[in-house]
């Protein structure tokens, strides 16, 4: 019998491999077969292709965006005139909670991760993510969390405690029924999903870059993905812990947040915002990655001062963990705490400011083409700078105490989140649409929807600054007449209707273009990064041969040919692993086959989590099917093992 030591030393076996003798259509046909998902509905459910999972993430997140947008429209209708009774106070509480929760947990973070899952392997020149089944599990878990929240809302047991769910309002004493539990368990689902995706992305980026793609040659979007994934890994445990403690306070009578037993409601705020503030940058940094890619392509030059942009990303990622207490200025802090967190909050604007200067310099030095993706970048710069400036204003404690929980804050964070993340996202969807679908989006419709959303947004959210300065509080279902709030609110409501129409137009453009848009070739924008070397849409295996990179703009430097390595197996899913820093070829590793087990594991997890809303025993007994599903997932499926022996 051959021992493991023999197997580790044996030469490579004779199987079909890509190379000069096996290339072109013949190779592509074989790779198609190897990397195909199984046919039929079960096959669809079993897919572990990062492009399928990325697309599913994006589409699902956009559905949640639409749902949360409808709730926003309902709130603006209610607030369009004083003393309105279109929505009852209790329903209003549910609606703003659902709006914020859905936007933050079910739209903003997942949509960014969806784009990252889709694009990262293509941008670094590999065939799959590091843990394809974990990615699939991540998606199903996210979907289950989203369904839990929305089914509960439709059953009239949706949460009504605000998107940050402060105890004691969410605690056992005031948060009666199961509304708060559903919120807390939805958080657990989405955090598990985000963490799973983040681990997979970090490993993919560090180990699967194309040969020659050193860290210093990585596309800026991949840098942004690396930094945000690490931020997810360090911040999301905090909210998962906080929500578990909240559930246990509610279910088994622990006293974490109960001041009567020397717990503290502020413990929640610390743990929540230790996650919640980095979360803002987890949403924003991928958007800066979109912008860096779009600006480079549409200026037709590489980003000015690439190292500064990278350092800004890393710097923002680190500083983001030192700001959380500025959400708690109104709770009372030691004076040194006020000073420290004010200084840190102002300091974080420095790296972001540097990035903005680098983009402006790139546009200045290049030959900008004013197509839709770049229009969104310009819209971003204008809007985000306003939001950034109001952020610096409220970093000052005296002003923050005055404006805390007013519409000024609502205006500020919509400027940074919509201006800073949604505008770049819409630009990114337009830019990478050919990769997602193989077709171009309509430029004309795109321009109309850009101008509508840009102007509609300013009309909707700028007057909120004024309403806030006049003292209008957040989260109150109406306001009295005669306080100067009528006009700003009416303008906001009109603006939000324009925004809603423009988003509808954007979606119409997406659907229409997917069905009948112009067919895109592999690199329709003449972009420099590797994803544009793959066909539009990319085949299952992404690249027939693994490309070699020797600059930051490989496709601009490539000419008619592209350097590739060869020798990966064609009969089996195989990846090339490279060294972490210098991306030297190191190991060939097999990649996971499609499997229904990630879905089954996510379903078992769903049973366990939903059960644990009602009984602590569900955690114990629910763990059994989860364990069985995970074991089935990991257990090697081939009856007789036949991987290839290799040289150690």
Footprint on residues 111-140 left by another protein (CB under 8 A): 130-131, 134
Residue 646 touching another protein (CB under 8 A): yes
The CA distance from 509 to 514, in Å, is 8
**CB 230, min distance to another protein, A:** 9
Q: Could you tell me if 359 and 381 are in contact, meaning their C-beta atoms sit under 8 angstroms apart?
A: yes
Residue 240 touching another protein (CB under 8 A): yes
Beta carbon nearer to another protein, 160 or 279: 279
Residue 81 touching another protein (CB under 8 A): no
Please select the residue that binds another protein; options are 245, 395, 466, 613, rule is CB under 8 A: 245
254 to 293: interface string for another protein, x by CB under 8 A: xxx-x--xxxx--x--xx--x-------------------
The CA distance from 605 to 611, in Å, is 10
Residue 562 touching another protein (CB under 8 A): yes
Residue 300 touching another protein (CB under 8 A): no
Residues paired with 569 in a beta bridge: 17
Transcribe 243-292 into DSSP letters.
HHHHHHHHHT---TT-GGGT--HHHHHHHHHHHHHHHHHHHHHHHHHHHH
**CB 36, min distance to another protein, A:** 19
Q: Could you tell me if 411 and 501 are in contact, meaning their C-beta atoms sit under 8 angstroms apart?
A: no
Please select the residue that binds another protein; options are 44, 451, 614, 634, rule is CB under 8 A: 634
Burial of 433-471, coded b for 16+ CB within 10 Å and e otherwise, reads bbbbbbbbbbeebbebbbebbbebbbbbbbbbbbbbbee
Residue 88 touching another protein (CB under 8 A): no
Residue 611 touching another protein (CB under 8 A): no
The CA distance from 394 to 426, in Å, is 28
Beta carbon nearer to another protein, 27 or 68: 27
Site for another protein, residues 339 to 358, rule: CB under 8 A = none
Beta carbon nearer to another protein, 148 or 195: 195
Residue 307 touching another protein (CB under 8 A): no
**CB 56, min distance to another protein, A:** 22
Site for another protein, residues 476 to 535, rule: CB under 8 A = 521-523, 533-535
Residue 314: CB atoms within 10 Å:
16
Residues paired with 285 in a beta bridge: none
**CB 427, min distance to another protein, A:** 25
Transcribe 444-467 into DSSP letters.
HHHHHHHHHHHHHHHHHHHHHHHH
Per rule CB under 8 A, count of chain residues that contact another protein: 92
Residue 31 touching another protein (CB under 8 A): no
Candidate segments 161-169, 391-399, 545-553, 606-614, binder of another protein by CB under 8 A: 545-553
Beta carbon nearer to another protein, 270 or 300: 270
Tokens for 34? 């190897």
Site for another protein, residues 578 to 607, rule: CB under 8 A = 580, 585-590
Residue 636 touching another protein (CB under 8 A): yes
Residues paired with 585 in a beta bridge: 578
Tokens for 377? 């970048």
Candidate segments 29-37, 214-222, 251-259, 348-356, binder of another protein by CB under 8 A: 251-259
**CB 51, min distance to another protein, A:** 16
Spatial CA neighbour of 95 closest among 111, 110, 80, 74: 74
Q: Name the strand (E) or helix (H) holding 577.
A: strand 574-578
Length of the chain counted residue by residue:
648
Residue 106 touching another protein (CB under 8 A): no
Residue 19 touching another protein (CB under 8 A): yes
Question: Which of the 8 DSSP states describes residue 106?
Answer: I
Residue 202 touching another protein (CB under 8 A): yes
């Amino acid at each position: 019998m051959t021992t493991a030591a023999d197997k580790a030393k044996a030469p490579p076996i004779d199987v079909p491999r890509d190379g000069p003798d096996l290339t072109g259509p013949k190779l592509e046909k074989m790779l198609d077969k190897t990397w195909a998902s199984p046919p039929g509905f079960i096959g669809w459910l079993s897919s572990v292709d990062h492009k399928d999972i990325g697309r599913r993430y994006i589409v699902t997140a956009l559905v949640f965006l639409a749902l949360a947008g409808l709730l926003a429209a309902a709130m603006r209708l209610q607030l369009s005139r004083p003393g309105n009774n279109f929505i009852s106070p209790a329903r209003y509480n549910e609606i703003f909670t659902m709006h914020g929760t859905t936007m933050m947990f079910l739209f903003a973070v997942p949509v960014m991760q969806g784009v990252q899952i889709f694009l990262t392997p293509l941008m670094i020149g590999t065939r799959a993510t590091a843990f394809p089944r974990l990615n699939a599990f991540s998606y199903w878990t996210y979907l289950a969390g989203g369904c839990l929240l929305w089914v509960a809302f439709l059953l009239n047991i949706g949460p009504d405690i605000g998107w940050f769910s402060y105890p004691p309002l969410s605690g056992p004493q005031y948060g009666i029924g199961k509304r708060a539990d559903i919120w807390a368990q939805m958080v657990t689902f989405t955090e598990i999903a985000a963490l799973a995706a983040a681990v997979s992305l970090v490993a993919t980026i560090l180990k699967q870059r194309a040969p020659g793609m050193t860290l210093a040659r990585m596309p800026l979007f991949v840098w942004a993905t690396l930094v945000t994934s690490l931020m997810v890994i360090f911040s999301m445990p905090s909210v998962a812990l906080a929500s578990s403690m909240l559930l246990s306070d509610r279910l088994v009578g622990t006293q974490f947040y109960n001041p009567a037993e020397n717990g503290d409601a502020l413990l929640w705020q610390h743990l929540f915002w230790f996650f919640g503030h980095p979360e803002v940058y987890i949403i924003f940094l991928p958007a800066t990655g979109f912008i860096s890619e779009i600006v480079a392509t549409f200026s037709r030059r590489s980003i000015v001062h690439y190292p500064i942009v990278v350092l800004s990303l890393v710097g923002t990622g680190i500083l983001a963990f030192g700001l959380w207490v500025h959400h708690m200025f109104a709770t009372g802090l030691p004076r040194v705490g006020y000073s420290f967190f004010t200084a840190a909050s102002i300091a974080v604007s420095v790296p972001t400011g540097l990035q903005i200067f680098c983009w402006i310099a790139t546009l200045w030095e290049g030959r900008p083409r004013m197509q839709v993706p770049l229009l969104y970048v310009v819209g971003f710069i204008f809007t985000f700078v306003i939001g950034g400036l109001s952020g610096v204003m409220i970093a000052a404690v005296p002003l923050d105490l005055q404006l805390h929980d007013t519409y000024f804050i609502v205006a500020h964070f919509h400027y940074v989140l919509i201006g800073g993340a949604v505008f770049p996202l819409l630009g990114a969807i337009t830019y990478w649409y050919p990769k997602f679908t193989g077709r171009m989006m309509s430029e004309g419709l795109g321009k109309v929807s850009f101008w509508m959303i840009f102007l509609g947004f300013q009309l909707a959210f700028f007057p909120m600054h004024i309403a806030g300065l006049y003292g209008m509080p957040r989260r109150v279902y109406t306001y009295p007449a005669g306080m100067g709030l009528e006009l700003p609110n009416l303008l906001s409501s009109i603006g939000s209707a324009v925004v809603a129409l423009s988003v509808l137009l954007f979606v119409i453009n997406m659907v229409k273009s997917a069905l009948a848009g112009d067919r895109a070739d592999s690199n329709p924008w003449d972009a420099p990064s590797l994803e544009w070397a793959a066909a539009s849409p990319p085949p299952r295996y992404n690249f027939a041969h693994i490309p070699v990179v020797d600059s930051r703009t490989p496709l601009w430097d490539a000419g008619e040919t592209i350097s590739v390595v060869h020798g990966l197996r064609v009969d089996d899913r195989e990846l090339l692993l490279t060294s972490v820093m210098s991306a030297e070829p190191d190991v060939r590793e097999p990649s996971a086959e499609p499997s229904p087990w990630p879905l089954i594991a996510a379903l078992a997890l769903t049973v366990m989590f939903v059960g644990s809303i009602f009984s602590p025993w569900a955690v114990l007994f629910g763990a059994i099917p989860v364990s069985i599903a995970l074991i089935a997932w990991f257990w090697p499926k081939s009856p007789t093992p036949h991987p290839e022996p290799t040289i150690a």
